[in-house]
């Protein structure tokens, strides 16, 4: 009855930190190490027993893969959640990869600083998880993605070696930038145990203005904003159903005619005088282009983003579309005219050139996703699923394999050869996942 | 040695005029801006397209010919220097702006396109290219890509890696691969992130897509003179504590100020101030005035002797020239000098500068400091006289400073790269396991070890003997920067 691998696991982490699940008749273990040494021992053990490994955070992203994933040992980083070093003066912090993003933000706020990322996900998602997925939200428009904020990691490799990538200083070009490879690697290159981030002063205030109108008018405002010297901290295009939830809180409810097909959310993280100026410019555009305008106070803005996240995090399927900013509004317009948009939310970071479609988990999802995929594919756009429900075999394929050409696949393979020649972490490999 | 066969094949691919192999033709390519090691290339070639580069690398792979890419040769770590009779692949003739999409904030350039040219091309429409190394009037975007170059405005806007969105790379086996994504995110691993800063050791970039930014509405440049270096350092921390991220925050010490004041860019720094800060704030007109007042207030709180903002565009330009021409100006006060590039946590600035001074006193060599104070990127300029046999001392001083940077939690290089120069110090910053992983990646992508081999990652057998083989020549940096950015001028070097 006693499984030798399981027994060995328990010599590394105590029993309470090992859980066994039987999935489709085979055993899978979730182990929660409390130290770097334990992570190393777990990886070595798995390697010795030929068991595949997947690092996990809060399992928000991997919730689905867990059921049909192949990894036999899941290394959970939950207990690696301390602040290792924080130097507010340097605006640099190093934390355990299992730290929750919300806890990190809480610590940083004590020094009036923050990590300017707002990924769409649950409150308990971990830094390891959001870094490994390079997850992002609307503040990408000004601040970029985690790729721009993560300056170093400490990572346990497949052979049990512990390596530091990058460093703890904001500028550093010594050796290859392996940190970049780890960001967005979906746990396929190693277990990140520490993450070093550059953070920023918290803005004196954060506000948002909504501009709603016809596709053509919103597109004009988009062109103006791209060409202006304003500093939009958010530059997001959303559809009617999402705009409706954003204006549902007291004080803003009913203030916007959400019958307009598209709405631009333009954020401002500038001090009061800057915000007033920026709002003035937006107001002028709203009258030139007959757009409806609604400005939010800092308090209302906080509520708006909470509503935004609360709505989108319930999505079961997320589809990403990339293209030139100048084309996105029109793409969104034609798509929304072609499908029943009541059952989906659209949100796109215009300057980054990305639209995301969020679909609720309901009976019509497959049909709706299929309609969107065929419409967008016909426009010649490349698509990717960021999230799929557990039971996703009815969803249309947007095959990543086709998107990644052979020569690039080769480079991927070579890099995996260098990091993980035996394929210990293979179960979550990109492209194959 | 490049064989006759290889030369003939190269001529077939590139045309005879693009293959230089006589000693007279190749002499100018024996080193880059790091002149302590020189060695003649086997040949110098000038491809003009991605396909030509691909054919060349296929040939080199088949014939096992070592090679090194070269942009403008302004690198300061020996990255573009041949070490084993390598063929230098000059990208000087791939210097076109391929496309410009202002509406979507992107430009696509060939690697030999000069950094500052891009800003010049888009300035009329109020755009600019943010990474601004001091060498920007001559260095190429390909060289910036390979070194992940920084600059004065990287404190707020980030370094090259934050501004490149896609690239075409010719792999060491001649295959062509597109990395990154002009918009959105790269699918799969962030290969672009790996390639930027890989110092030309994993392939050759032949097309680069970069972001161009809208110029800020308003800019104010502030100069603050301090009696004590400690006060200047404290001001830098003070800005951050006040929640200000200046667009730029540069420091020069007394020796550096004296040197630039002897050059064409005479500001007239009082001879007894210990440090000057050049701080720039930018953004919306409505906020910049208040920001610059806060910057000045912080300086005042830290006992500044004099602080003021630039009254005109000319004054601002002069201050910046004085900062940007500081490296070459050191040549005016010392027969030889060596530039270091260590990074430290900003909060340790005062302490580290003090220790550098102690190192200077102990060694008897003067050290000037010119640097990106805002991001803790030091550039100690070690003054010495090779004719007096001080080269070894200078190198030892350089090593001590870099080790000091690592000891306080920093890095041996913030923007100039490892190249030949800092290869030994890599062992000080990285563990054997970390070096092994880096080498493993390199071995996979360049299994024959032909692509800028012997640089970046120390291997037990190679490299050490390359250091200190010759002494730097004083005026070379000044020559580099005063050369015009035209292809002819670059070709002539
Ligand atoms: C409803 C919903 C919608 C979402 N939509 C999006 C979206 O549109 N775009 C987007 O980018 N993200 C999206 N996400 C994902 C989410 O923002 C994060 O990716 C996820 O929450 C990460 O946190 P986690 O701790 O739950 O990670 P997990 O789900 O546990 O892991 C996520 C990935 O990271 C890896 N990983 C975790 N920790 C480590 C570590 N320490 N070292 C190495 N690898 C590690 C895992 O192997 C896995 O591949 C969505 C999530 C939800 C719940
Ligand atoms: C006075 C002076 C001031 C400087 N100031 C700064 C500064 O402020 N910030 C900063 O970051 N640097 C600075 N530098 C260093 C140097 O200018 C930069 O490293 C610059 O990026 C090098 O560009 P280059 O075109 O001269 O490249 P080169 O010196 O020709 O080459 C640099 C490296 O890039 C590789 N390479 C070149 N082109 C390609 C390509 N297409 N594909 C692959 N590899 C390639 C070469 O093999 C070499 O390893 C300064 C140099 C001088 C002389």
Q: How much is the ipTM here?
A: 0.95
The whole-angstrom separation of Cα A375 and Cα A393 is 20
pLDDT at A216: 97
B107 forms bridges with which residues in the sheet? B100, B210
The minimum-distance atom of ligand 2 relative to the CA of B327 is: 1
Q: Are B291 and B244 in contact (CB under 8 A)?
A: yes
pLDDT(B488) > 60? no
pTM for the model: 0.95
The CA distances from residue B39 to A135, B167, B203, B461, in Å, are: 47, 30, 22, 19
The whole-angstrom separation of Cα B386 and Cα B380 is 18
Q: Return the ∠ at Cα A133 (arms to A192 and B187), rounded to 5°.
A: 120
- Listed in sequence order, the residues at least 6 apart from B392 whose beta carbon sits closer than 8 Å to its beta carbon are B468
Question: Which ligand lies nearest the alpha carbon of B375?
Answer: 2
Q: Which protein residues touch ligand 2 with a CB less than 6 Å away? A: B 32-33, 68-76, 79-80, 91, 111, 133-135, 139-140, 142-144, 146-147, 149-151, 199-200, 204-205, 327-328, 415-416, 452, 477, 480-481
Q: Average model confidence (pLDDT) for chain B?
A: 93
Identify the CATH number of the domain defined by range B216-323.
3.30.70.3450
Q: Check residue A91 and report its DSSP letter.
A: T
Q: How far is the CA of A353 from the centre of ligand 1 (A)?
A: 22
Question: Which ligand lies nearest the alpha carbon of B417?
Answer: 2
H helix count then E strand count, chain A: 16, 19
The CA distances from residue A107 to A145, A195, A298, in Å, are: 20, 15, 21
Range with the lowest mean pLDDT among A426-430, B217-221, B366-370?
A426-430
Q: Average model confidence (pLDDT) for chain A?
A: 91
Q: Which among A432, A355, A404, A428 is positioned nearest to A57, based on CA atoms?
A: A428
Write the pLDDT tens digit of every residue in A324-358. Answer: 999 999 999 999 999 988 889 999 999 999 999 99
Identify the CATH number of the domain defined by range B4-90.
3.30.43.10
CB of A120 within 6 A of ligand 1: the answer is: yes
Look-up of token digits 């190192």 = B359
Residue-level length of chain A: 433
> Is the CB of A51 inside 8 Å of chain B's CB atoms?
no
Domain with CATH 3.30.43.10 in chain A: 4-76
Span B134-154, average pLDDT: 96
Domain with CATH 3.30.70.2190 in chain A: 207-310
3 state SS for A318-342: EEEEECCHHHHHHHHHHHHHHCCHH
- Going along A258-400, which residue ranges are E strands? 262-268, 292-296, 317-322, 344-349, 354-359, 383-387
Q: How many CB pairs under 8 A join A and B?
A: 262
Rounded to the nearest angstrom, the minimum Cα separation between A1 and chain B is 39
Rounded to the nearest angstrom, the minimum Cα separation between A2 and chain B is 36
**CATH 2.40.30.10 fits domain A207-310:** no
Domain with CATH 3.30.465.10 in chain A: 83-201
The whole-angstrom separation of Cα B346 and Cα B338 is 23
- 10 Å Cβ neighbour count for A109? 11
Chain A residues with CB-CB distance to B433 below 8 A: 157, 161-163
Pairing of strands A317-322, A383-387: antiparallel
Write the pLDDT tens digit of every residue in B379-425. Answer: 999 999 999 999 999 999 999 999 999 999 999 999 999 999 999 99
Task: Give the fold, CATH level 3, of B102-214.
Answer: 3.30.465
Judged by CB atoms closer than 8 Å, whether chains meet at B241 and A410 is answered as no
The whole-angstrom separation of Cα B193 and Cα A244 is 38
Write the pLDDT tens digit of every residue in A13-47. Answer: 999 999 988 877 888 899 999 999 999 999 999 99
Which protein residue's CA is at the shortest distance from atom 14 of ligand 1?
Answer: A121
* Best probe residue, ligand 1, of A66, A80, A133 (max atoms within 8 Å of C-beta): A133
Residue B52 tokens read as: 């030509």
All structural domains of chain B with their residue ranges: 4-90, 102-214, 216-323, 426-490
Percent of chain A with pLDDT over 90: 77
Judged by CB atoms closer than 8 Å, whether chains meet at A171 and B159 is answered as yes
pLDDT(A427) > 80? no
H helix count then E strand count, chain B: 18, 18
Identify the CATH number of the domain defined by range A314-387.
3.30.70.600
- Listed in sequence order, the residues at least 6 apart from B417 whose beta carbon sits closer than 8 Å to its beta carbon are A173, B75, B76, B77, B79, B146, B147, B148, B197, B199, B456
Identify the CATH number of the domain defined by range A4-76.
3.30.43.10
Span B236-241, average pLDDT: 92
Judged by CB atoms closer than 8 Å, whether chains meet at A89 and B245 is answered as no
Q: Check residue B279 and report its DSSP letter.
A: E
**CATH 3.30.750.24 fits domain A83-201:** no
């Amino acid at each position: 009855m006693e499984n030798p691998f399981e027994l060995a696991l328990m010599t590394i982490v105590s029993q309470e930190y090992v859980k066994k699940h039987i999935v489709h008749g085979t055993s899978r273990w979730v182990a929660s190490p409390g130290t770097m040494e334990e992570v190393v021992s777990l990886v070595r053990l798995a390697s010795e027993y030929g068991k595949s490994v997947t690092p996990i955070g809060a399992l928000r992203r991997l919730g689905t893969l867990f059921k049909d994933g192949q990894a036999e040992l899941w290394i959970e980083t939950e207990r690696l959640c301390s602040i290792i070093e924080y130097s507010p003066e340097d605006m640099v912090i190093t934390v355990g990869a299992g730290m929750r993003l919300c806890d990190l933000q809480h610590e940083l706020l004590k020094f009036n600083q923050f990590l300017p990322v707002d990924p769409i996900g649950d409150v308990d998602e971990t830094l390891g998880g959001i870094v490994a997925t390079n997850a992002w939200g609307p503040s990408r428009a000004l601040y970029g993605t985690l790729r721009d904020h993560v300056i170093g990691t400490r990572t346990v490799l497949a052979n049990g070696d512990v390596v530091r990538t990058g460093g703890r200083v904001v500028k550093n070009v010594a050796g290859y930038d392996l940190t970049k490879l780890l960001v967005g690697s979906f746990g396929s290159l190693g277990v990140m145990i520490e993450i070093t981030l550059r953070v920023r002063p918290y803005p004196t205030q954060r506000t948002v203005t909504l501009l709603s109108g016809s596709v053509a008018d919103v597109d004009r405002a988009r062109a103006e904003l791209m060409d202006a010297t304003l500093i939009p901290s958010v530059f997001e295009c959303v559809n009617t159903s999402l705009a409706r939830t954003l204006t549902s809180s007291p004080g803003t409810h009913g203030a916007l005619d959400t019958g307009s097909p598209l709405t631009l959310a333009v954020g401002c993280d500038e001090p009061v005088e800057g915000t007033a100026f920026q709002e003035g410019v937006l107001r002028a555009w709203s009258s030139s282009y007959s757009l409806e305008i609604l400005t939010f106070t800092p308090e209302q803005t906080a509520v708006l983003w909470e509503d935004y996240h609360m709505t989108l995090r319930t999505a079961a399927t997320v589809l990403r579309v990339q293209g030139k900013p100048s084309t996105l509004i029109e793409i969104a317009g034609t798509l929304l005219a072609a499908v029943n948009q009541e059952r989906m939310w659209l949100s796109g970071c215009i300057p980054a050139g990305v639209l995301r479609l969020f679909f609720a988990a309901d009976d019509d999802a497959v049909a709706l996703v299929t309609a969107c995929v065929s419409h967008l594919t016909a426009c010649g756009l490349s698509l990717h699923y960021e999230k799929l429900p557990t039971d996703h075999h009815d969803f249309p394929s947007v095959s990543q394999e086709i998107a990644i050409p052979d020569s690039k696949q080769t480079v991927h393979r070579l890099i995996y050869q260098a990091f993980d020649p035996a394929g210990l972490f293979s179960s979550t490999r990109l492209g194959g996942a | 040695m490049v064989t006759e066969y290889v030369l003939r094949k190269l001529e077939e691919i590139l045309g005879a005029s693009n293959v230089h192999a006589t000693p007279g033709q190749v002499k100018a390519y024996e080193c880059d801006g790091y002149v302590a090691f020189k060695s003649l290339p086997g040949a110098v070639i000038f491809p003009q397209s991605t396909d030509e580069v691909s054919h060349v690398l296929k040939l080199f792979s088949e014939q096992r010919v070592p090679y090194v890419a070269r942009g403008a040769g302004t690198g300061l770590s020996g990255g573009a220097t041949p070490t084993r009779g390598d063929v230098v692949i000059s990208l000087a003739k791939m210097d076109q702006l391929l496309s410009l999409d202002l509406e979507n904030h992107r430009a696509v350039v060939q690697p030999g396109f000069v950094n500052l040219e891009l800003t010049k091309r888009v300035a009329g429409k109020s755009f600019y290219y943010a990474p601004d190394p001091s060498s920007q009037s001559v260095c190429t975007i390909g060289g910036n890509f390979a070194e992940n170059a920084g600059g004065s405005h990287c404190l707020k806007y980030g370094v090259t890696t934050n501004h490149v969105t896609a690239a075409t790379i010719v792999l060491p086996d001649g295959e062509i691969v597109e990395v990154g994504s002009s918009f959105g995110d790269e699918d799969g691993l962030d290969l672009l992130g790996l390639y930027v800063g890989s110092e030309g050791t994993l392939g050759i970039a032949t097309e680069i897509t970069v972001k161009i930014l809208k110029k800020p509405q308003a800019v104010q440049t502030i100069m603050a003179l301090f009696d004590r270096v400690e006060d200047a350092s404290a001001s830098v921390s003070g800005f951050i504590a006040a929640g200000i991220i200046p667009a730029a925050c540069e420091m020069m010490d007394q020796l550096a100020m004296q040197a630039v004041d002897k050059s064409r860019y005479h500001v007239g720094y009082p001879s007894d101030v210990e440090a000057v800060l050049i701080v720039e704030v930018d953004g919306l007109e409505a906020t910049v005035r208040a920001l610059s007042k806060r910057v000045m207030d912080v300086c005042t709180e830290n006992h500044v002797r004099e602080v003021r903002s630039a009254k005109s565009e000319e004054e601002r330009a002069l201050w910046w020239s004085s900062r940007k021409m500081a490296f070459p100006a050191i040549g005016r006060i010392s027969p030889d000098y060596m530039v270091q590039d260590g990074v430290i946590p900003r909060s340790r600035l005062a302490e580290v500068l003090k220790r550098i001074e102690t190192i200077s006193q102990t060694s008897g060599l003067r050290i000037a400091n010119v640097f990106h104070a805002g991001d803790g990127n030091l550039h100690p300029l070690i003054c010495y006289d090779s004719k007096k046999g001080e080269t070894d001392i200078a190198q030892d001083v350089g090593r001590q400073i870099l080790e000091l940077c690592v000891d306080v939690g920093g890095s041996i290089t913030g923007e100039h790269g490892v190249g030949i120069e800092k290869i030994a110090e890599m062992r000080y910053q990285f563990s054997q396991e970390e070096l092994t992983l880096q080498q493993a990646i390199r071995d996979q992508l360049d299994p024959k070890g032909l692509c800028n081999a012997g640089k970046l990652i120390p291997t037990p057998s190679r490299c050490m003997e390359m250091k200190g083989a010759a002494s730097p020549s004083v005026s070379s940096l000044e020559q580099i920067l005063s050369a015009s950015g035209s292809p002819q001028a670059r070709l002539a070097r």
